[in-house]
């Protein structure tokens, strides 16, 4: 050390922990993970010494930890990029989390109002014409609600095998209006861009045309499993108003896992054909 240059004081682990408002145990854990090493370790006593300036390094790590970044991830990211890049990534993550929580809040608020506040069902229903659609369909005589995604996957694989040009629209036609989640008749379908030439398809598969149909439509945005809470309300409304169904009730999946990331962005039209 040259003359006039002040010596940097080395703090004990307990002194340094006090500056950082943490514990020696936490500092030892950070050291073990390779996040913050002592400035000096006595080769004989193994006492750890820190420089006061290292408190800033500790606080940067603690900043990320307090905003939900796991320590192991902090270790991985800091070894490959700067603190600024790491914080920028965490900001993007938190922004996405806030957006998802807002969607969850909106969904739950809507469901709360719909289920418990005696909603005006008529306000939620729009009268319109649906179709026509060209559909590639799979009939399942004893289907389960929780396997619909499997049926759709099987349908799409078969469409690829037979080079059937399809759209992103997906459909689920119910065999009846009673809630029967197991061993019930279902027809799953996907839209086609145009009708292919006559094909010899496996049993259960068919190409259909859904005609232009008048319907009452409930637009539902959210996870699929909670749609079953909507149907009884709408069906009770139709019965009270003496509105008869003229065809199969069905779901029209317009935004689904293949087109959007969040389940709170899934957009499904619940379609009730009427005369």
In angstroms, rounded to a whole number, what is the distance separating the alpha carbons of residues 79 and 34? 9
For residues 124 and 161, the answer to whether their CB atoms sit within 8 Å is no
List the beta bridge partners of residue 189: 137, 171
Q: What is the pLDDT of residues 8-20, one digit of tens each?
A: 688 999 999 999 9
CA dist list (Å): 207 to 109, 194, 204, 249: 40, 11, 10, 19
Tens digit of each residue's pLDDT (9 = 90 or more) over 120-136: 888 899 999 999 999 99
- Owner of token pair 């020696």: 24
Exposed e or buried b per residue across 32-45, where buried means at least 16 C-beta atoms within 10 angstroms of its C-beta: eeebbebeeeeeee
Is the same domain home to 75 and 198?
Answer: no
Q: Does residue 188 share a domain with residue 63? A: no
Whether 110 is in a domain gets the answer: no
> Are 144 and 245 members of one domain?
yes
Task: Kindly report the CATH number assigned to the domain that includes residue 26.
Answer: 1.10.1660.10
Q: How many CB atoms lie within 10 A of CB 270?
A: 20
Q: Which pLDDT score, from 0 to 100, does residue 2 have?
A: 41
Show the low-confidence residues of the chain (pLDDT under 70). Answer: 1-8, 81
251: phi then psi, degrees, rounded to nearest 5:
-100, 135
Q: What is the pLDDT of residue 8?
A: 65
d(CA 111, CA 116): 8
Q: Quick check: 51 and 11 in contact, CB under 8 A?
A: yes
User: If you count DSSP H runs as helices and E runs as strands, how many of each does the chain have, helices first?
Assistant: 8, 11
Contact, 173 vs 189, CB < 8 A?
yes
H or E stretch including 10? Answer: strand 10-12
172 touches 139 (CB < 8 A): no
Do 160 and 60 belong together in one domain?
A: no
Pairwise CA distance, residues 238 & 219, whole Å: 16
CATH code, domain carrying 214: 3.20.80.10
Tokens 């040009």 identify what position? 165
Q: What is the pTM of this model?
A: 0.74
**Domain limit, last residue, from 23, 53, 80:** 80
Q: Residue 49 pairs with which residues in a beta bridge? A: 12, 40
**pLDDT of amino acid 77:** 75
Domain ranges, residue 58: 10-80
Domain co-membership, 65 together with 159: no
What's the confidence (pLDDT) of residue 7? 62
Residue 157 lies in a domain: yes
Contact 235, 244 (CB under 8 A): no
If asked whether residues 131 and 233 sit together in one domain, one would say: yes
Residue found under tokens 């065809």: 247
DSSP state of 212: P
Residue 116 domain flag? no
Are 152 and 262 in a shared domain? yes
């Amino acid at each position: 050390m040259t003359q006039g240059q002040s010596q940097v004081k080395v703090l004990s682990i307990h002194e340094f922990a006090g500056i950082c408002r943490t514990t020696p145990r936490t500092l030892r854990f950070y050291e073990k993970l390779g996040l913050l090493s002592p400035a000096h370790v006595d080769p004989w006593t193994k006492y750890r010494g820190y420089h006061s300036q290292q408190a800033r390094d500790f606080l940067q790590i603690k900043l990320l930890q307090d905003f939900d970044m796991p320590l192991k991830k902090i270790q991985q990211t800091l070894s490959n990029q700067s603190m600024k890049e790491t914080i920028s990534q965490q900001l993007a993550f938190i922004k996405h989390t806030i957006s998802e929580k807002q969607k969850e809040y909106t969904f739950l608020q809507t469901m709360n109002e719909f289920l418990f506040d005696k909603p005006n069902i008529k306000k939620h229903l729009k009268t319109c014409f649906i179709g026509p659609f060209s559909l590639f369909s799979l009939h399942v005589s004893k289907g389960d609600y929780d396997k619909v995604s499997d049926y759709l996957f099987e349908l799409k694989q078969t469409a690829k095998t037979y080079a059937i040009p399809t759209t992103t629209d997906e459909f689920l036609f119910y065999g009846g209006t009673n809630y029967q989640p197991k061993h019930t008749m279902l027809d799953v379908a996907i839209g086609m861009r145009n009708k292919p030439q006559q094909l010899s398809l496996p049993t259960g598969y068919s190409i259909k045309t859904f005609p232009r149909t008048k319907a009452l439509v409930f637009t539902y945005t959210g996870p699929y499993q909670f749609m079953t809470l909507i149907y009884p309300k709408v069906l009770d409304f139709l019965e009270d108003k003496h509105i008869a169904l003229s065809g199969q009730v069905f779901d029209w999946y317009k935004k689904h896992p293949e087109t959007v990331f969040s389940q709170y962005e899934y957009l499904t039209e619940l379609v009730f054909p009427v005369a």
